[in-house]
Chains A and B, each alone.
Chain A
């Protein structure tokens, strides 16, 4: 199944609720957050995208001409034909929320936790949404653009052990 056939199928099912774009060999469809689960489910069940290769997020705070703050992308692959498709969606403050796709691809588990850890995007329906890379006590979301690269001093906040004490 080529990209055009997939897009035709999607149009037949979802009408004009999504937009498409293309850059080099990346084919993308941009879906509003409330439709994203339905679209992904359709892609998995009907179009044979059985592998979720990558799930990541970005903060578009200072991005030129950006209208939404958080973007999340899903790179899908059909392992029999090798076709790739990128599904993108956006969400916004104050409570960025997206549906979890754990029920479709178990591989999404940690990738969603990482996006939550880095951006604070909550994935509804995720079975175990905790911080994954940073300590549980950490309060900020470090990959947001309003968080300074050197942190807010968390890295200096430890007791000192001197020679005689040890």
Chain B
């Protein structure tokens, strides 16, 4: 958006007007992490108005979804919220499997839960670490990255790629995990609270950090609901809503965990909610890995939705035919001509997919409900009346991921 246009959008009238400044923030600014732009109108250092301008990373994800089949699209979905890739996959396949009416195996459900929670830790680590980095605390960021690398290693062991694992498939997973992987997760769960403690000791009672986040960007409960906020941001404002409890998907019914909420709704509360959620996730992973059910990870190949294993393809004619049926783009899955909305509790909030199927193996329309997009729309309401330096604190606490914001 050109600056003149931003100026023109309902600027305050009267003699005040002469004193106002326009400041362009982004799209290439270290605190925006990726690419977003805010046009601020300033009275001295106080922000009178903020007009976000997004779309600097718009890459046509949803259009691609209309051209790639249900399994292929997983690679694209990964790249939406690249801080928690597997959570995106889980949301996408939640919608696809609801559409096709597939009931997963218990082992697959547990593994997906473990991955979902690992991603939650991963996302919150980056969010809290980067928020601290923007406010001048470099060490917390390094501690957070150290743990992030361990989660990368876990993903790499399971799927072969550390960053965009593309680990899920319709009706199951790419491959089963092995014992080494289980040991890695156990070790991570054992070590994580200590590292978590390090970050907490650095930040929770840090005078500078508290001064810069407390009472900044307060979001009230009514506003949070009215502005469609979900996830940690809504919970920090006192909205008790967590899809893991409210609409238990996968195997969340089996686990014992708490929903972390706060009442204040400021940046510090959002930070605290995120930190506490990490420990709860750790608890879930611990329960899941100790009770991991045996058995297959994919639904039965005879149901014609999952790929048969390699041996079956090479050694038996049925396996070969199943494989062929799923790969050829004019056969593939037989979906009902229907539409479905499914959502999960991703680290950032409710991540939903609205899939419209026309009976073929390629979705007719894939719509994401992106939490970052909705949370960034809240930003102009939060920042008004604060100082320029608070922009960074508020942005850091909202955890805006540009690829998910713009898709």
- Chain A residues in contact with chain B, CB under 8 A? 23-26, 50-54, 56-59, 62-65, 73, 75, 79, 82, 86, 105-111, 114, 118, 128, 130-136, 142-143, 149
Contacts and interface: CB of A to CB of B under 8 A. Distances in A.
A149 B63 contact: yes
B356 interface: yes
B406 interface: yes
A107 B377 contact: yes
B103 to A, nearest CB: 12
15 contacts: A50-B225, A50-B226, A53-B228, A56-B354, A63-B356, A64-B337, A64-B359, A82-B241, A106-B226, A107-B377, A109-B377, A110-B376, A110-B377, A128-B9, A133-B54
- Interface class of chain A by DSSP: loop
Nearest to A65: B337
- Interface class of chain B by DSSP: mixed
A114 B370 CA distance: 12
Contacts of A73: 341, 354
B338 interface: yes
A56 B367 contact: yes
Contacts of B367: 54, 56-58
Contacts of B1: 130, 136
Given A53-B230, A149-B60, 6 more contacts: A25-B98, A58-B356, A58-B365, A82-B246, A132-B54, A132-B55
Interface string B310-328: 0000000000000000000
Interface residues of B, number: 50
Given A56-B369, A58-B356, A109-B377, A79 B340 contact: no
A51 B225 contact: yes
Considering the complex of A and B, which 8 residue pairs feature the smallest CB-CB distances, nearest first?
A107-B228, A133-B55, A56-B367, A110-B377, A54-B369, A133-B58, A58-B365, A107-B227
B50 interface: no
Contact of A23 (B241, B339, B352): B339
Nearest to B349: A53
Contact of A134 (B55, B66, B223): B55
Contact of B241 (A25, A79, A128, A142): A79
B58 A79 contact: no
- Name the residue in A50, A54, A130 with the highest tally of chain B Cβ atoms < 10 Å from its Cβ: A54
A21 to B, nearest CB: 9
